[in-house]
Structures are given as C-alpha cells and as structure tokens.
Chains A and B, each alone.
Chain A
Amino acid sequence: MEYVAPNSLDKAAEIAANARGSVRYLAGGTDVLVQLRSGLHQPSLVIDLKRIPGMLDVVRTADGGWKIGAATPATTLNAIKELRQSWPGIVEAAELIGSTQIQGRASLAGNLCNGSPAADTVPAMLAAGATVTIVGANAERKTLSIDDIVKAPGQTHLKPRDIVASINLPARSQKGADAYLRFIPRTEMDIAVVGCAVNMSLDGETVSEASVALGAVAPTVVLVPEAAECLLGTRLEDEAMENLSMSCRAACNPIDDKRGTVEFRISIAGVLAQRAARTAYQRARERQ
C-alpha cells in the first residue's frame, strides 16, 4: 500500500487519475483507518487530503452560505458560532459522531463518502439542501446534491477517481432552523438506530418551508417529502405531528439487525420526527 499527501486538489486528481489499482481518500480517517485495520478495504493507494489548502477551512460565501473543506473536523464546525446559529442541526449531528477524540478528526465529507445509511450528518445535510463540490479525474469541478451521491450501504454514486473538495450549505433564511436527533441505546459512542433531521422556515408562527430526512431506516438516507408536506402551513398542531409520524413511518424500509428490529425502527422514526420538528420549530421561533 502506498500513501501520498498532495498539496493541491489538481495534484490529487492527477495522482488519482494515474493510479493503478484501488484508491482510498483519507480525510479524518475515522472510517478509512478502521476499515484498513479490519481488512475490509485493502487499497493500493491512499491519498491524504489534509495537506491541501482549504480542506480544513470553513468559509462564508458571498451569498451568505458556507463552504466547508472536505477534511474539516466536527470540532471546527462547532467552534464557529455563526455556523452553529445558521445550521444547528448539521453541527449537532457532527457533534454526535463517536467520541470527543473522533470528533477531532471526523468530517462531513467523510461521513457522506462512507456511504452508511446510519450516517448522522447525512440526513441533516440532505434536509438542509447541501451540495457537494467534486473534482473529477481530469480536474474538472462539478457540483452535486447530497441526493445525487447516496446510493447503497457502503456505496456512493461518486466515481472511483472523484474527490470531494467541499460541502456547501445554502444561506439560512432569517426565520429558519434545523435539528437532528438520533436514537442510540447508549448516550454516546454509538451508531444511529434511527436518525431524523428536520429543516424548516417559518412565516410568523407558521411553517412555510420544510424538509425531513431519515437515517438508518432504509438502504440509504432518505428525504421524505410527504413528511415535510405534513408540516407546511401548520404550527405543529397535534394533527400535523400525527401525520408527520405516519408519513415518516410509511417511508421506512428498514432491516432487522443487531442494532434494532424493523418494527422498532419504524416506531422510533415517528417519535424522532416529532421531537426533531419541535426542536427545529422552537429554534426557528427563537431566531425571529
């Protein structure tokens, strides 16, 4: 196995394009190193992205959005007050991953590229309408939505030589907020049995825009537009909450495994959706 740490994205793309055999990209390494150690992946080349300028940076864009370098760890996100205020759901999702030590390395981009349906930040990014900037094999740049990338457990629609350069978050409307909640049997150091992100904007006290995403209840993280629909025009009255739960439960296509049963995951998806919606709603009201 060979290891390289190029100092530019173009250089990284060139190395990747010329590589023979399998390539793994290394950001924080909280998934990749574990997989190497367990023998799950045995790449012939590991390309470390952390030496590339900008990969560890968070930049406010001209339109008020955010550009987050692909190797930026969760702790960096949490340290940026304005980001926490704009996208509290994304930051709290990142801050749930693993332990304090893991959060010092783990990145949004890595969480996305790992392809886990139980990834904590992916539902939050999906609900947020985040986009992903990618450098392809011949160094061309393209921008995809999160939905374009998620594919199946352990797989993404990224091409083998695609490099994720940044995660881009849109500007936050004045009256909006998001929230992410997951269910784990412990209080930390665990993987979501169910995850749910809700992102919304208010018009006065009424929900004017909404999106709902679920994790760990289907082969991929899923956006649930029918659930979001239940929130529109409401103030989260009981009936809206019931509808939200039902829509989320209907969107579940989970498996029985060591972490939870089908029926448990379906049940919990409805519970978490209500709780996440209430938190997002409360946050949005407080922003006004």
Chain B
Amino acid sequence: MALDDAFEAREFKVVGTRPIRPDGIDKVTGRARFGADASASGMLHGAILRSPHPHARITSIDTSRAESHPSVKAIVTRDDFAKELSGEDWNVLENVMAGERVLYDGHAVAAIAATSVLAAKEALALIDVVYDPLPFVTDVDEAMRPDAPVVREGVADESVPEGMNPNVVRYHENGHGDVDIGFAKADLVIEKTFKTEAAHQGYIEPHACLAQLGADGNGELWCCTQGHFVAARICARLLGIDASQLRVTASEIGGGFGGKTTVFIEPVALALSRKSNRPVKIVMSREEVFRATGPTSSASMDVKIGMRKDGRITAAEGEFRLQGGAFPNAPMEFAAMAAFAPYDLEHVRSKGWDVLCNRPKQAAYRAPGSPMGAFAVESVIDELCNKLGLDPIEVRIQNGSKEGSRAAFGPRFKRIGLIETLEAARAHPHYRAPLKPGQGRGLSCGFWFNHSGETSVTLSLSYDGTVSLAVGTPDIGGSRASMCQMAAEELGIPFDRVRTTIADTGSLGYNDVSHGSRVTYASGLATIKAARDTIQKCCARAAEEWGIDPEAVVWEDGCAKPSGHNAGDFEPMSLAEIAANMGDTGGPISGHFEATPTGAGVSFATHIVDAEVDRETGAAKVTRYTVVQDAGKAIHPSYVEGQFQGGAVQGIGWALNEEYVYGDDGRLQNAGFLDYRIPVASDLPFIDTVIVEVPNPGHPYGVRGVGETSICPPLAAIANAVSNAAGVRMTHLPMSPPRLLKAMQEAGIG
C-alpha cells in the first residue's frame, strides 16, 4: 500500500459535521427514481412462472398455448441463456432459471413478456409444465444425515471428508493452540447447541428492472442493485454477450442489506428483451421476493467454552453448520472465523460446514454468518458469567482482543477498538440502570472483517468551480453525503459545492458491489485520492501561471498558494479561479483514483439490551437498547448512528420473530410481511448510540466500515436479555412467543 493511504491525525472542517443528505429532497418529494420507476416506449412487462414444488424433475415445458395468447410477445426458458457456464456463473444461472430440475419452492421455470402486467400474469397459467416431484429436505441438520434426500450430487469440493451426504459441500477449519489442554485448565466448561432460522433482509423495495437488449448484443439495463458493475458482468456472462456492450445504470435503492448484490430478474428481462426486440420491465411481487431471492442462511451450531473462576477463558471451540439453499457458499467460514474474534484466546478451534437444502439460494445479509456465530458464543459466555457470578463486561474486557492479539482466524490485529467499546458500555448509564421485575439485561460483543474491493472514482471540476464526483458504488446508506464531505474536506470548499453521482458502467472504471461495509472506506479513500490528484493538477496550473516550480505550490483553504516566501509572492488562486480558466491553461481538470485498497479496518461493537418477558404468554419485548461501536472516524455521524440503529432493529426482528417457515410440503408458508414479522415502529424502543472512534490505520481519515458490525451482537444480546428475564436459556432463534412459552413451561417457569 502506498504510504499516503495511511491514517494521519488532522483537524476536520467538513468531516464529522451533519449536513442534510443531497438525495434527501428527491426522496421526500417522490422525485427519486427507484427500480420500478423507469419506463420506455414500446415497453413490455415480464412475469415469471415459478415452481410450486420444493424439488422436482422438469419432465416437459409446453409454451404453445401461452404463445398463442395475443398479448404475449416472448417466452423464455433455460434454453434462451448461455450454455456451458461453470462454477458460480452456472450457479447463478441455475438459480435465475431452472435447468433440468427445480430445487426449491419459487424456483423460476419460464418467463413471459406481454403487453401488460395482467396479460403476462394471465399467460403464465397457459404454460404447461410437467413435474416429477422428488424427495426434498429443508432443515440443515436433516440435510446432513446420511439418508437425507440429496439436493444435488457432485457439488462438494475436496475439503469435505469422505462418506458424508452429498449435501455437505464445503468444510472449513481455523484456530490455534490445543483446546483439550485449555479445557483441562477451566473451572467450568459449558457446551450448548444453538439454532437460528433463515431471515430475509426485508428491504422495502422489491427487485425491479428495465432491460433492452438487441440481437447485436448491445444493451441497456436499469435496475435496483447494490452493484451495477457486477450486475453487468454477471448478466453479460449469463446472456453470452460482451460486458462492455451492456450499460447498466443503478436506480435509487429502497434497501438491500446484501440481498441486492446479485441478480435474479435482470438476466430474465434481458433475455425477454432480446427475444421480443422490445424493452422489458420486470417488477417482483413481495411474495416473489420472499420465495425466490436470497435470505440469509439458517444455522445449527455447537459451542463449548471453558472459563476459570476469575473469568479468564481457557479454551473455546465451535462448530457452525449453515445451509444456503440449493447452492454452495453458505457463509459458514465467516461464522466460524468471526465468532471468537472478540477474544484473545490461547486455545481456540472453529469448524464450519456448508450444506445444501431445498431452499432459495442464500444471498448476503449484513455481515453474513457473523450474527449467528456471535449468538452461540456470546450466549455461552453469558451463561458462564451467570454461573460463576462474574460481570459480563469485566469478563469481556479481561479476555478482549487488542492490538497485537492473535485473531482466532489467524492474523494479529492492528489497532482495534473492542476494549474502548466495552469501556464506553460500562460507563453508559444504561449499564447501571435498575431493572424492573420481569426484565433481564443482556450484553454481547460482535465483530466484522470489513471489505475493500475494486474501486474507481473520478472527480471533475466545472467552470464555475463546483465539483462533480462520480463514484460506482450505489448509495445504500447516505454515502453520497459522506463522499461530498470527504471531497469538500480535501479541496477546502463547502459541502454543497460537490455533487456526487452514481455513474453508470459506461462512465467509470470497474467497481465492486456496495457491500462488506466498504463504501465509506474504499470509495471514500478513492475520493480523497482523486481530490488530491485534482489538487496536484490545480497546483500545477497555478505554478505555470506564476512561473514557479509545481513543488513550490501548496493547497490551503481551497486555494493554491506559494509554499513560502522563497517560492514567490503571489496572491492565492482559488479553485474557482483555476476552474474558470482551465480551458485556456491546459484543458479540463479531473482527478482520478482506481485501486483495490488493502487497508480496510476490522470493527467491533458492544450492545446492551433490556428485555421484558410475559411469563404467561411468552411475549418478549425489548425495552431499552444501546449500541456502542467503533466507527474509526464517523464522516457523517447521523448516518453512522443510522447504521447502528438499523443493525439493532434488524437484529431485534431476527431474534424475536423473523423466520422462514417451511411446511411439511416443503413450501414457504409465510411469503409476505404479514407472517414474516419484521418489527413495526411500536415494537421498538429508542435505540441509543455511542460512536467510538479508534482510527483505522489503513484510511487517511481513520474510517472503518460501520454498516455490518451493528447486526453482529444483537441476536446474542437480545437472547441473553430474554434468557435472563425468562429464567431459561434460549438456544433457538427466533424466540417467538410459542418457542419462548414452551421453553419456560418445560423449565417449570411461569
């Protein structure tokens, strides 16, 4: 990494303030254009036929009746997509449009483009599909049994030991030391098994796109996505066209949380467009979103931890089994790697298993894998603290990872802020507030790696001295505001002189998806570097004008100035002056930066939760919630706080009520917001936030990603609070009232 990526302490003028977000007015006035807001002349509407079976062989698909429908202009099946794909490309295509078999309830089988939405839906009923139903499995533990129905043969890689069910497709192991030695030194060892159910990201905006693709392979795609460059790359492969021939524009996005990092309907709309030679729009219904996009994995986990009476953890061991639907890559290694990351352990071992089930292909959901792992580990630590009469914060401070600690997943940590979050939590009035009868308190730490990824940014000056910043990472959390702040900070100009645009794939170099909490870190770093590139060019123009050496010009307060008296005596030249003359002084001025930065900083959080349990009904309510998290440096503190609160709220849903419910028929029972219960406003307390700032050494301002870490502690913190309120350890999420009441009744409570 170049030296100037490194953190350098400084006084900020714009960074750390809370300006109104530049996209705010568009959003509150309805002017913002989301996925479904695009249309084109001659546009057709697409609809997708989906499998009613969890697993079946497709014997035949007869489209002749649908083709004779007067409003139908095109029908596509798997035959209309690229052949001979392999690896993840094949997986994505197989998920987008079934091949020989349907692998889950809701799996796409065929699609129609017609002149109206109603006609398209009506014509779906005219496609005759003959299915040969096959045995299915939807539970991760059942799928691992030797006699379980096999979802797909031949998927397992070489990491899987011989003799396991073909549904087990990947194995992972990490750790160090010798856990047997460690457990022998413990005064108390607790081992428990935990389960979490699949949760959906629950974004408000269903997937929507508008596609145009000609027979010449030249196309345009408008879609609601977290990453249009990646969407272009995947769609091009699935359609067998050149990536650069497909220009993709990202719409405003009504939430993604990881679920819009891949494609579902986009290749289908492109295929329909290519076949009909007309623009095709597809908008998913909420039911389709639940049945056929990517919820997170469900998990089954065993965790064993040994502790001395003084609170020192002597050894820790975990096994994390995650199912990711009918396709490989459930994030079991992230669960295994992140689960013990908050602790500096001499003896630790983690194992992960990736398992296939007849469910939709999992997609990323905010720190994939980490919340489940934290739930299991932090529950056992809570139980150890209870049994040994120890304070849960003191125990975590005593064992907590610090700079130089060896992470359970291998490397030694650089500068990190876990202990600072625990100390801030200990100092918070919440931690000492008395509890009412029937209430319990829970605490948990959480960890996320944070990602970097390919990043390109261009910053251009306008003649009037204002700045246009083009980034390639869709704004999923207020990042346009943060980018404007960082550019303004560097250039020494006001925030509102910068406009940040999410550039389409034809207008900027490649960018990875907005995921991995990478945008404020990576696009932010690139913005700072592009601004510095611009400043260098501006300084050169001033030097040329003044007839001095460019190195003798410095940039201060938005102006080029001679670096000192020796350099010459010239009036400062403002950005606006330089921009006004740029055409005559050498041409347009733009700054660029493109790289895959390597200094993403890991992040830790500590959450404190109070919960109240109705012992007669099993109803649990979160009554108080405090998030303490290390942000490195909060560029726009309001949006950092928003990320903290959002992670906590999604965690509350996942912990208490959200779950994919499959019936005995293998079909999803609750494909809607009525019975897939995300929290409503009245379910929630105010989520208090504390921003801790321990700078990331790998970012010029010290930024760490904040979007994902906030969902790592909630499952455990809420489970600990509810367990302490209920008087019984809850090991299966969500802790829905029937599950909680049953656990209390079995424990003789209530």
Contact = CB atoms under 8 A, between A and B. Distances in A.
A271 B674 contact: no
A261 B677 CA distance: 17
B619 A185 contact: yes
Contacts of B617: 183, 267-268, 271
A101 interface: no
Contacts of A193: 737
Interface size class of B (residues with CB under 8 A): 20 to 34
B674 A185 contact: no
Given A183-B617, A186-B680, A187-B683, A257 B742 contact: no
A260 interface: yes
Interface string A247-265: 0000000000111110110
Interface in A222-262: 257-261
Contacts of B657: 185-186
Contacts of A189: 674, 680
A190 B741 contact: no
A185 B677 contact: yes
A260 B738 contact: yes
A263 B657 CA distance: 18
B-side interface mostly = loop
Contact of B742 (A186, A187, A188, A264): A264
B59 interface: no
A183 B737 contact: yes
A187 B669 contact: no
A97 interface: no
A258 B670 contact: yes
Given A187-B680, A187-B683, A271-B617, A258 B738 contact: no
Nearest to A187: B682
Nearest to A265: B738
A160 B619 CA distance: 41
Contacts of A126: none
A191 interface: yes
Contact of B683 (A183, A186, A259, A267): A186
Interface string B680-703: 101100000000000000000000
Interface string B731-747: 00000111001100100
B737 A185 contact: yes
Given A183-B619, A268-B617, A271-B616, A190 B738 contact: no
A22 to B, nearest CB: 18
A186 B677 CA distance: 7
Contacts of B674: 189-191
A257 B674 CA distance: 14
Interface in A182-215: 183, 185-191, 193
A112 to B, nearest CB: 20
Contacts of B325: none
Given A183-B617, A186-B657, A263 B742 contact: yes
A262 to B, nearest CB: 10
Given A257-B669, A258-B675, A263-B742, A188 B661 contact: no
B679 interface: yes
Interface size class of A (residues with CB under 8 A): 10 to 19
Contacts of B738: 260-261, 263-264
Nearest to B736: A185
A190 B677 contact: yes
Contact of B680 (A188, A264, A268, A271): A188
Contacts of B656: 185
Contacts of A258: 661, 669-670, 675
Interface in B610-665: 616-619, 656-657, 661
B45 to A, nearest CB: 16
Interface string A37-71: 00000000000000000000000000000000000
A267 B657 CA distance: 19
Contacts of A260: 737-738
Contacts of A268: 617, 741
A263 B741 CA distance: 10
A252 B680 CA distance: 30
A191 B677 CA distance: 11
A263 B617 CA distance: 12
A252 B263 CA distance: 47
Contacts of B670: 258
Contact of A264 (B669, B679, B683, B737): B737
A196 to B, nearest CB: 12
Nearest to B659: A258
Contacts of B683: 186-187
Contacts of B669: 257-258
A263 B738 CA distance: 8
Contacts of B619: 183, 185
A259 B738 CA distance: 9
A180 to B, nearest CB: 16
A193 B683 CA distance: 17
Nearest to A39: B121
B119 to A, nearest CB: 14
A195 B656 CA distance: 21
**Pairs of residues from A and B, 5 with the lowest C-beta to C-beta distance, nearest first:** A264-B738, A187-B682, A258-B669, A258-B661, A271-B616
12 contacts: A185-B619, A185-B677, A185-B737, A186-B682, A186-B683, A187-B683, A188-B682, A189-B680, A264-B738, A267-B617, A268-B617, A268-B741
Given A185-B677, A186-B683, 14 more contacts: A183-B619, A185-B656, A185-B657, A186-B657, A187-B682, A188-B680, A189-B680, A257-B669, A258-B675, A259-B675, A260-B737, A267-B741, A267-B745, A271-B616
